[in-house]
Amino acid sequence: MPEAIATANDVAPLEAPRSRSWRCSDCNVSVSFAADRAPHQPDGWIKKSKRWVCLRCQRERVMDMAASGQGADGWASRREALMEFELLRTPDESDVVIAKRANCSTGHVRKARKSLVDAGKLKK
């Protein structure tokens, strides 16, 4: 019999002694995984000066920064910032996916992608 077949008994117990967890230093949200299934880090999380920051907080942060900058245009600036953040974070995602995340049109994303490429911030 092959060894790597998962069975019903293969589910990690609720209080798995060996699990890995992460806590966001900003909003305190936490995620945990069984040790044998834990990713290198939670999807989209980053470590900043030894503290983890979840994806949501990173998004909030770039949007808040954009909205408080000079010449900021409220919601439009926030959306723009989120779109740019997502393009730089996951450059391989399609314009459609980025547009959904930033809640804007694919035309907007295409334009933003092009200007990031032109500015040398993004590879073609």
H-type alpha helices, the chain: 55-68, 74-89, 95-102, 106-118
**Residue 27 contacts Zn ion per CB under 5 A:** yes
**Residue 87 contacts Zn ion per CB under 5 A:** no
Question: Quick one: which segment of 26-34, 40-48, 70-78, 105-113 binds Zn ion (CB under 5 A)?
Answer: 26-34
Q: Shortest distance, CB of residue 110 to Zn ion, whole angstroms?
A: 30
Structure tokens that stand for 25 in this block: 């230093």
Q: Shortest distance, CB of residue 59 to Zn ion, whole angstroms?
A: 9
Question: Quick one: which segment of 14-22, 51-59, 75-83, 102-110 binds Zn ion (CB under 5 A)?
Answer: 51-59
- Given 24, 63, 66, 82, the residue binding Zn ion (CB under 5 A): 24
Name 25's Cβ contacts closer than 8 Å, sequence gap at least 6: 51, 52, 53
C-alpha 9/C-alpha 75 separation (Å) is: 49
- Closest C-alpha to 41, from 13, 11, 6, 51: 51
**CA distances in angstroms from 116 to 36, 59, 84, 85, listed in the order given:** 38, 18, 8, 11
Closest to Zn ion by CB, 86 or 95: 86
Closest to Zn ion by CB, 57 or 83: 57
Q: Which residues bind Zn ion (CB under 5 A)?
A: 24, 26-27, 54, 57
